[in-house]
Amino acid sequence: MTQSTKTKSSNSQHRIVIVGGGAGGLELATRLGKSLGKQGKAKIILVDATLTHIWKPLLHEVAAGTINSFEDELNYFAHASKNYFEFHLGRMKDINRVDKRLILEPLTDETGHEIAPERSLRYDSLVIAIGSTSNDFGTPGAKENCIFLDSRAQADRFQREFLNLYLQAQARAIENPSPQDLNIAIIGAGATGVELAAELHHAAHEFTRYGLNSIDPGNVRITLIEAADRILPVLSKHTSSTATDQLVDFNIQVLTSRRVTAIHKDSVECDGDIFIPATLKVWSAGIKAPDVLKDIAGLETNRINQLVVRATLQTTRDDSIFAFGDCASFTPEGAERAVPPRAQVANQEAIVLAKILKAKLQGKPLPTFSFSDKGSLISLGETNTVGNLIGKINVQGFFARIMYLSLYRLHQVALHGVFKTGVLMFKDLLSRNSGPTLKLH
């Protein structure tokens, strides 16, 4: 085959461009790469604004330092080369629906120096899976004074600031050995807020094991603030009650029915003129799709920037553009609410979307998405996990903990297969038994 023939064949391939390498986007690229890409039936391209992937439900552990993000990250270029798809580093700027081109922002380094100019990628099918960001609802001082756990970079930042406070306390104790306090406020008691609170309680005790004992664990005051009348408001009352009892046992202050009105440098202000002292402040009280999606290319979006999609996960105004995960809103026929923005929804959508795209290439009727709620599990540190399965069966303790840990392993199986996941599990076991249980750098 001549070079010109190869080029013509490559250009005639159906091009599926996936924007967003989160759990759903990366799993979809891997599935399509192993099937369509490997057989030359389509060209699969994944685009992400970062070079590495980490499973978003792990970010609360990264923030607390109980896992090392550098050990659990996956490099997109390396993974793409093994799974028959291409990876492009870039951030979506716009979509040209007429010419079917994805516009990418200029590529810059850490100092802002331009590495590559604005560029575009041609697509035949475009899949948008860029996840969500925190929604601070315009609360004064939130952007300036809070950390948002939307990305690995933000979780790493929190971990560094958390560790630095212990290092600062140790240095001060040389001249003044009196007890020192640490106040942490978490705004929003959904899954992320609750899991982070429990993980920070565990980390505070771990610091003393490594000699950073200038701040006694009893002097670490963690306050969890929720506007609803209970924590984990989208889960069952039983799960909420069980989690509350566990957090109280951890000496974590749980404030419900409290609306945050402003964030200050050293405190959180709630309605009723209540001020909660806080050196570290985390916002986890709501989500929205990234602002880039607001009215992008004339596509239909809702009030939190999510792209509105049909049961085929196609956007309502362009059959060539699909969206799923946290950045998409799908309301089943006859339902009052859209399916919730949860990891299991993105996982199920990725599986169905792979079938939808294959059917589209073959000219067959497109399958449709139907969400099956498998339940939710909330980690309360290494000692306990609570939640429900299949929406109704309440679980907690060791069995729930095993189920919770298996979720990440299933994600790894989807990316690497069973054998390599087994190797990774063995590596993690060795690392856990031989290294520190807390990231100290």
Q: Give per-residue pLDDT as tens, 386-434.
A: 988 876 788 888 788 888 888 888 898 999 999 999 988 888 877 766 6
Torsion of CA 209, 212, 215, 219, to 10 degrees: -20
**Could you tell me if 153 and 177 lie in one domain?**
yes
Q: At which of 252, 267, 286 does a domain end?
A: 286
For 294-341, the DSSP string reads TTGGG--B-TTSPEEB-TTSEETTEEEEEE-GGGEE---TT-SSPPP-
Q: At which of 303, 337, 365 does a domain end?
A: 365
Q: What is the mean pLDDT of residues 367-381?
A: 91
The CATH number assigned to the domain holding 245 equals 3.50.50.60
Residue 440 pLDDT > 80, yes or no?
no
In a domain, 403, yes or no: no
Q: What is the mean pLDDT of residues 89-109?
A: 96
Only one residue has tokens 């980490």, namely 54
Only one residue has tokens 């933000």, namely 154
In a domain, 309, yes or no: yes
In a domain, 407, yes or no: no
Please report, for the chain, how many H helices and E strands are present, in that order.
12, 28
Position 357 confidence tier, pLDDT thresholds 50, 70, 90: very high
**Could you tell me if 95 and 169 lie in one domain?**
no
In a domain, 373, yes or no: no
**Greatest mean pLDDT among 99-103, 180-184, 371-375:** 99-103
- Into how many domains does the chain fold? 2
- Domain with 54, as residue range(s), is 13-132+289-365
**Could you tell me if 148 and 241 lie in one domain?**
yes
Only one residue has tokens 């331009």, namely 114
**Could you tell me if 125 and 182 lie in one domain?**
no
Q: At which of 308, 330, 365 does a domain end?
A: 365
Torsion of CA 31, 34, 35, 41, to 10 degrees: 120
Nearest alpha carbon to residue 47 among 107, 104, 96? 104
Q: Under the phi-then-psi rule, with left for phi > 0, alpha for psi from -120 to 50, and beta for the rest, what region is 298?
A: left
CA distance 86 to 17: 9
Nearest alpha carbon to residue 263 among 356, 188, 370, 362? 188
**Could you tell me if 70 and 152 lie in one domain?**
no
Mean pLDDT score of the chain, rounded to an integer? 91
Percent of the chain scoring above 90 in pLDDT: 72
**Could you tell me if 296 and 279 lie in one domain?**
no
**Could you tell me if 199 and 295 lie in one domain?**
no
- 3-class SS at 412? helix
**Could you tell me if 196 and 262 lie in one domain?**
yes
DSSP at 273 = T
**Could you tell me if 308 and 319 lie in one domain?**
yes
**Could you tell me if 294 and 280 lie in one domain?**
no
**Could you tell me if 117 and 57 lie in one domain?**
yes
In a domain, 437, yes or no: no
In a domain, 402, yes or no: no
Q: What angle do CA 326, 327, 332 make, to 5 degrees?
A: 75
**Could you tell me if 85 and 151 lie in one domain?**
no
Q: Give per-residue pLDDT as tens, 292-344.
A: 999 899 999 999 999 999 999 999 999 999 999 999 999 999 899 999 988 89
CB of 234 closer than 8 Å to CB of 153: no
In a domain, 178, yes or no: yes
H or E segment and range at residue 425: helix 418-434
